[in-house]
């Protein structure tokens, strides 16, 4: 569904990505793992058109989207939930959700998506009129994901959904991510520092290190890889 | 009829009524009130850019200058031939003035587009510096165009500006900004301000929003400039330097970025303050500045800020 090939991105003189390539099949959850500065967020931002690559291409459903502006990429069904608490802090929860359906014109479809989002995150319905800046970290993350789902994406990119969130809420959010993938057939690219968690929910994984893919394979297999365990999974015994 | 439109019509009616009675009003009061009205237009239009859309512009006086000069050029150079030998009567003069204001506003909007396209790619202090620079460039251009009076400026504009014209335009500016910001489309301005990356990620073309805000703001600044020129009847480039821009920015910040009512209150307060302080003569500007400092310390979020964030009504 999405193919990234030979992506080179630099910030000024610093190379953030030097030749990243991967493919994500339709309906799968695939994860990108790696330490700080490995290039995970840069990869997502380049795919969604927020950054321009120096070389390489991004192909989505057979179409080259490398040079498209961000809003045109969203219009093609590829939605990015940025890292951190990127909600519109001064708008209400309701208005944030409405912004997510910004490109949809069909009112019925918007209403259906709202109900779907409330089904997944009932908490949002309770806080509908509250300004988003006053939500807890976990609630803001739910709102950011809910807002992305309002636009009916075919492909969802999540950047560090567990960042700065209470452990109990992390479990809930990851359950919901799996649920959305199963029930809606939504393809998901997940970027996560918490490699254990990411490998648990995903089918396949790519390991990034200083802007290169250094390891790839089915998640179950990577989980048992001794070298990977030593580097990212705390080095504990297999199990 | 929707409520905002009713309010607009009511405001227009009141402005025209007061205007009709202006011969019986104290000229000093009228003069100050008209100055306040122009300040309101400037502050509300800049608030769309700096407050609602979150793009810090420091070049508003430049757009005001474009409007002032271009509308004056219309009434001075085209007016006599358009109105004919009999002076055109009140209707002819009114139409000429409306045309001159529209022309001044449109030219300011074009200048806004020209400046906005390259500079709105920048953020924060970079954008502030670039708009400051452009504002000064506009001023220097007028200073060097001999046909528009050069450094001496233009004089002899017909006194077309009345209380009704000013407050009519102010009502129109408030109405336009309110309608833009409170619409579904307009939430995009607020989203752009709150988080540009998130706005891009949900599919907003943030560049377009910034340019729409910038051009609309410039348009009303141009109209305010036209009103100012036909009110003071003499303009020169020094009247539109960057201290003027700063004055307008102060109104927006003091009023509370993005709070239209607060910004109007600040425009009134800051225009009246120098008048109220007249008795203390030479200490006036010191006191004025001190009051500003105190106000900012007491209300750092602006006069009309919501205060603590929370549940919205």
Q: What is the pLDDT of residues B131-151, one digit of tens each?
A: 999 999 999 999 999 888 888
**The CATH classification of domain A1-77+154-160+186-239, taken from the options 3.30.360.10, 3.10.520.10, 3.50.50.100, 3.40.50.300:** 3.40.50.300
* Predicted confidence (pLDDT) at residue B310 exceeds the cutoff of 70: no
Distance from C-alpha of B54 to C-alpha of A235, rounded to nearest angstrom: 47
Residues on chain B touching A74 (C-beta within 8 angstroms):
201-203
Q: What is the pLDDT of residue B70?
A: 95
DSSP structural state of residue A236: P
Q: Where are the domains of chain A?
A: 1-77+154-160+186-239
Distance from C-alpha of B88 to C-alpha of B101, rounded to nearest angstrom: 17
The least confident of A120-129, B28-37, B273-282 is: B273-282
Structural Rg of chain B based on CA atoms: 19
Report the residue of chain A nearest B306, measured CA to CA: A90
Candidates B194, B197, B202; nearest CB to A102: B202
User: Testing the interface with A: which of B121, B198, B199, B208 to mutate, by most A Cβ within 10 A?
Assistant: B198
Residues on chain A touching B310 (C-beta within 8 angstroms):
130-131, 134
SS3 track for B54-77: CCCCCCHHHHHHHHHHHHHHHHHH
Contact B191 A99 (CB under 8 A): yes
Q: What is the pLDDT of residue A234?
A: 64
ipTM of the complex: 0.80
* Predicted confidence (pLDDT) at residue B220 exceeds the cutoff of 90: yes
- Asked if B310 has any chain A CB less than 8 Å from its own CB, the reply is yes
Mean pLDDT by 10 residues, chain A (239 residues): 93 90 94 89 93 93 93 92 86 92 89 93 92 91 93 92 86 90 92 88 92 91 84 58
Residues on chain A touching B197 (C-beta within 8 angstroms):
50, 82, 86
Q: What is the largest CA-CA distance in chain B?
A: 64
Contact B192, B210 (CB under 8 A): yes
- Asked if B307 has any chain A CB less than 8 Å from its own CB, the reply is no
DSSP readout, A75-127?
Answer: HTTEEEE-SS--S-TTSBHHHHHHHHTTT---HHHHHHHHHHHHHH-HHHHHT
Contact A91 B188 (CB under 8 A): no
- What predicted TM-score, i.e. pTM, was given to this entire model? 0.85
User: Testing the interface with A: which of B186, B188, B192, B201 to mutate, by most A Cβ within 10 A?
Assistant: B201
Residues 112-171 of A with CB under 8 A from B: 129-131, 133-134, 144, 147-148, 151
Token readout for A79 is 């939605």
- Asked if A182 has any chain B CB less than 8 Å from its own CB, the reply is no
Contact A151, A104 (CB under 8 A): yes
Report the residue of chain A nearest B206, measured CA to CA: A71
Band of residue B119 on the pLDDT scale cut at 50, 70, 90:
confident
From first CA to last CA, the distance across chain B in angstroms is: 23
Contact B201 A74 (CB under 8 A): yes
Distance from C-alpha of B160 to C-alpha of B231, rounded to nearest angstrom: 7
Q: What is the pLDDT of residues B156-200, one digit of tens each?
A: 899 999 899 999 999 999 999 998 988 888 889 999 999 888 898
């Amino acid at each position: 569904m999405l193919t990234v090939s030979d992506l080179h991105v630099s910030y000024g003189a610093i190379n953030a990505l030097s030749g990243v390539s991967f493919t994500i099949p339709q309906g799968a959850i695939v994860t990108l793992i790696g330490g700080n500065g490995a290039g995970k967020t840069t990869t997502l931002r380049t795919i969604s058109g927020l950054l321009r690559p120096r070389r390489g291409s991004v192909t989505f459903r057979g179409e080259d989207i490398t040079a498209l502006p961000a809003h045109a990429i969203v219009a093609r069904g590829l939605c990015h939930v940025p890292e951190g608490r990127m909600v519109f802090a001064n708008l209400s929860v309701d208005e944030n959700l409405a912004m997510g359906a910004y490109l949809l014109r069909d009112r019925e479809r918007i209403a259906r998506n709202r109900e779907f989002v409330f089904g997944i995150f009932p908490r949002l319905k309770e806080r509908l009129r509250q300004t988003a800046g006053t939500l807890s970290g976990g609630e803001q993350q739910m709102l950011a994901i809910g807002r992305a789902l309002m636009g009916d994406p075919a492909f969802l990119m999540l950047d560090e959904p567990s960042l700065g969130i209470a452990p109990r809420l992390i479990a809930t959010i990851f359950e919901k991510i799996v649920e959305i993938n199963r029930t809606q057939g939504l393809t998901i690219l997940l970027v996560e520092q918490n490699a254990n968690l990411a490998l648990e929910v995903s089918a396949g994984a790519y390991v990034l290190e200083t802007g290169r893919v250094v390891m790839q394979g089915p998640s179950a297999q990577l989980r048992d890889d001794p070298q990977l365990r030593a580097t990212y999974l705390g080095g504990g015994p297999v199990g | 009829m929707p409520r905002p439109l009713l309010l607009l019509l009511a405001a227009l009616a009141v402005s025209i009524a007061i205007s009709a009675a202006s011969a019986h009003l104290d000229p000093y009061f009228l003069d100050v009130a008209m100055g306040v009205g122009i300040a309101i237009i400037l502050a509300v239009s800049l608030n769309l850019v700096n407050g609602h859309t979150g793009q810090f512009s420091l070049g508003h006086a430049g757009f005001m200058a474009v409007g002032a000069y271009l509308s004056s050029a219309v009434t001075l150079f085209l007016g006599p031939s358009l109105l004919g030998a009999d002076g055109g009567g009140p209707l002819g003069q009114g139409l000429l003035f409306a045309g001159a204001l529209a022309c001044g506003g449109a030219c300011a909007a074009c200048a806004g587009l020209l400046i906005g396209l390259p500079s709105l790619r920048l953020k924060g202090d970079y954008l502030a510096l670039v708009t400051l620079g452009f504002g000064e460039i506009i001023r220097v251009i007028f200073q060097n165009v001999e046909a528009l009076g050069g450094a001496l400026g233009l004089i002899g504009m017909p006194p077309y500006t009345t209380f009704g014209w000013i407050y009519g335009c102010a009502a129109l500016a408030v109405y336009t900004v309110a309608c833009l910001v409170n619409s579904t489309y307009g939430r995009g301005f607020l989203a752009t301000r709150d988080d540009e990356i998130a706005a891009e990620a949900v599919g907003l073309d943030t560049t377009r929003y910034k340019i729409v805000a910038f051009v609309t703001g410039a348009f009303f600044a141009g109209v305010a400039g036209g009103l100012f020129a036909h009110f003071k009847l003499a303009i020169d480039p020094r009247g539109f330097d960057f201290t003027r821009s700063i004055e307008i920015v102060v109104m927006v910040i003091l009023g509370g970025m993005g709070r239209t009512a607060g910004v109007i209150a600040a425009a009134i307060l800051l225009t009246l303050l120098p008048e109220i302080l007249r008795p203390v003569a030479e200490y006036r500007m010191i006191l004025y500045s001190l009051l500003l400092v105190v106000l900012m310390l007491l209300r750092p979020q602006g006069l009309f800020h919501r205060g603590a964030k929370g549940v919205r009504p």
